[in-house]
């Protein structure tokens, strides 16, 4: 079974203004003393943020239980501090410059990145998927690249910025493009090529450590995983579970193909049907398609990874579902993913739901939306409350007891 882990970042907000509320230090201090959460609750870059870094999961049911339990825990914390908590890509309003968590590394990033930091007020969802080897990881990275714009379109949840409608579904994606590495990575020949090229960038533009590589998908430097980073923080646990299930299935399919055909794209190309993604899609096209996805979301046309042109977004979402049908079936996720995809296409992305709430009721509408979504139950059936143990070998995530999946930004 391919294992996975989830990182969710949350904003504490003033319920009257939707400005960030700097209560995360107090919330984290309490969570750190709680044996249920101390290992998995962490401070983040902003003094208004807390992160949940999950244990390693084998099933969506496990993940759903844990995600909902943590969300309800911090919702109760927010109530004790007379603030609200939201899982959104950007806070609806933001100060001219954010309050930074008092950690030396974060202060160094502020010095290195200078004026960019004023707008670096955002929360993301990161999904780690276990890989058997770094070579498998590069094969998976190459295979998922063409799908990244569509995944970005499906996960936009940051339409508001400094009290205004941006016209973009993922303003977070736009803001991140200013960092030294951003967007879709290039195609790599193998693991050695990947490792050489990421190290060649060290020292440029504030990139002083490999943990600051911010591509929408990358290999972990401390765990045998591939990490998806394109998604805004998602409104509900179900939204997060859909992203995690699709990411896991994409990696599982890529690992299977690597085991069957190796790393030579010429071996796979003759087997590719007309609606299968082109593995050689140019980086500049993916960059343009990612910005298009951040702007349009699932409204109208989205990037077709097979033709390289625009196609109706709902058709592409269903095609992605078919593309990973076999690994979804093996994992027992196919029925749930079909249900959650249908809900996404019916109810819209997080960005569309935020805008609907904003248009109906302004700040009060957002407050109601955030209160309802942060504690919403997951569609998964109740399972064990804890995550799976850290697995060694195969596609499991490896590490010692207590090691957490972590990210930066």
Q: How far apart are CA 194 and CA 363, in angstroms?
A: 45
Whether residue 84 is contained in a domain is answered as: yes
- C-alpha–C-alpha distance, residues 25 and 41, integer Å: 11
Q: What is the pLDDT of residue 324?
A: 98
Please give the backbone phi and psi of residue 85, each rounded to the nearest 5 degrees, phi first.
-125, 140
- Whether 327 is in a domain gets the answer yes
Q: What pLDDT is attached to residue 288?
A: 98
- Whether 51 is covered by a domain: the verdict is yes
- Nearest 5°: phi and psi at 368? -65, -40
What radius of gyration do the chain's Cα atoms show? Answer: 20
- Lowest-confidence pick of 50-59, 93-102, 319-328, 377-386: 377-386
With beta carbons less than 8 A apart as the criterion, state whether 53 and 405 touch: yes
pLDDT given for residue 265 in this prediction? 67
385 pLDDT higher than 50:
no
pLDDT tens-digit series, residues 62-103: 999 999 999 999 999 999 999 999 999 999 999 999 999 999
Residues 6+ apart with CB under 8 A from 214: 176, 179, 180, 181, 182, 229, 409
Residue 275: CB partners within 8 Å, gap ≥ 6? 306, 319
Q: Is the pLDDT score of 403 beyond 50?
A: no
- Give CA–CA dist 117/9, Å, rounded: 17
- Domain residue limits at 155: 4-374
Could you give the angle at which helices 24-32 and 60-80 cross, rounded to 10 degrees? 120
Provide the CATH number for the domain around residue 235: 3.30.590.20
Domain count, the chain: 1
The predicted model gives 57-61 an average pLDDT of 98
Average pLDDT score over the chain: 92
- Percent of the chain that is helix, strand, coil (3-state, to 5): 45, 15, 40
Show the CA angle centred on residue 368, arms to residues 100 and 98, nearest 5°.
Answer: 10
Report the pLDDT value the prediction gives residue 273, as an integer from 0 to 100. 77
- pLDDT 10s digits, 188-216: 999 999 999 999 999 999 999 999 999 99
Average pLDDT over residues 138-152: 98
Asked if residues 44 and 9 have their Cβ atoms less than 8 Å apart, the reply is: yes
Higher local confidence (pLDDT), 72 or 384: 72
Which segments of 81-169 does DSSP mark as H helices, in order?
104-113, 134-144, 148-154
| Residue 106 included in any domain | yes
Dihedral of the CA atoms 359, 88, 156, 346 (nearest 10)? -60
Answer yes or no: is pLDDT of 393 > 50: no
Distance CA(90)–CA(157), nearest Å, equals: 8
Return the pLDDT at 262.
83
Any domain includes 381: no
Q: What distance in Å separates the CA atoms of residue 14 and residue 406, rounded to the nearest whole number?
A: 27
How far are the Cα atoms of 144, 160, 191, 204, 226 from residue 136, in angstroms, in the given order?
12, 38, 8, 28, 9
Residue 122 has pLDDT above 80, yes or no: yes
pLDDT tens for each residue of 228-286: 999 999 999 999 999 999 999 999 999 999 999 887 767 766 667 778 898 899 999 99
388 part of a folded domain: no
Q: How far apart are CA 86 and CA 21, in angstroms?
A: 11
* Whole-Å CA distances, 38 to 153, 281, 332, 405: 34, 43, 31, 14
β-pair partners for 7: 53, 126
Q: How many residues does the chain have?
A: 409
**Domain contains 87:** yes
């Amino acid at each position: 079974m391919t294992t996975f882990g989830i990182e969710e970042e949350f904003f504490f907000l003033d319920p009257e203004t939707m400005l960030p509320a700097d209560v995360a230090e107090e919330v984290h201090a309490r969570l750190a003393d709680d044996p249920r959460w101390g290992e998995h609750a962490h401070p983040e870059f902003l003094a208004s943020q807390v992160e949940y870094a999950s244990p390693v999961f084998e099933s969506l049911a496990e993940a759903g239980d844990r995600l909902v339990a943590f969300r309800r825990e911090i919702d109760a914390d927010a109530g004790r501090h007379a603030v609200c908590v939201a899982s959104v890509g950007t806070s609806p309003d933001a100060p001219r410059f954010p309050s930074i968590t008092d950690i030396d590394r974060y202060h160094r990033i502020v010095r290195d990145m200078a004026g960019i930091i004023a707008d670096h007020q955002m929360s993301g969802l990161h999904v780690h998927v276990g890989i058997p080897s770094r070579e498998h990881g590069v094969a998976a990275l190459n295979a998922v690249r063409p799908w990244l714009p569509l995944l970005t379109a499906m996960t936009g949840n940051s339409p508001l910025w400094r009290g205004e409608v941006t016209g973009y579904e993922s303003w977070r994606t736009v803001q991140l493009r200013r960092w030294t590495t951003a967007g879709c990575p290039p195609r790599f020949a193998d693991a050695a090529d990947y490792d050489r090229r990421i190290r060649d960038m060290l020292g440029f533009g504030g990139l002083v450590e490999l943990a600051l590589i911010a591509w929408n998908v990358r290999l972990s430097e401390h765990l045998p995983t591939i990490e998806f980073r394109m998604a805004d923080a998602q409104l509900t646990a179900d939204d997060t579970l859909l992203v995690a299930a699709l990411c896991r299935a994409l990696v599982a399919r890529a690992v299977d193909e690597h085991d069957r055909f190796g790393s030579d794209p010429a071996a796979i190309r003759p087997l590719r049907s007309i609606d299968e993604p082109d593995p050689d899609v140019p980086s500049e096209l993916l960059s343009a398609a990612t910005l298009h996805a951040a702007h349009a979301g699932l409204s109208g046309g989205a990037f077709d990874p097979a033709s390289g042109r625009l196609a109706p977004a709902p058709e592409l979402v269903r095609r992605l579902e078919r593309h990973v049908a076999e690994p979804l079936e093996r994992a027992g996720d196919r029925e749930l993913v079909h249900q959650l995809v249908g809900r996404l296409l019916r109810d819209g992305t997080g960005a569309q739901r935020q805008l609907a709430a904003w248009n109906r009721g302004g700040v009060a509408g957002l407050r109601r939306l955030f209160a309802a979504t942060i504690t919403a139950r997951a569609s998964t059936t109740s399972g064990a409350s804890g995550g799976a143990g850290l697995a060694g070998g195969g596609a499991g995530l490896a590490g010692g007891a207590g090691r957490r999946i972590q990210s930066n930004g």
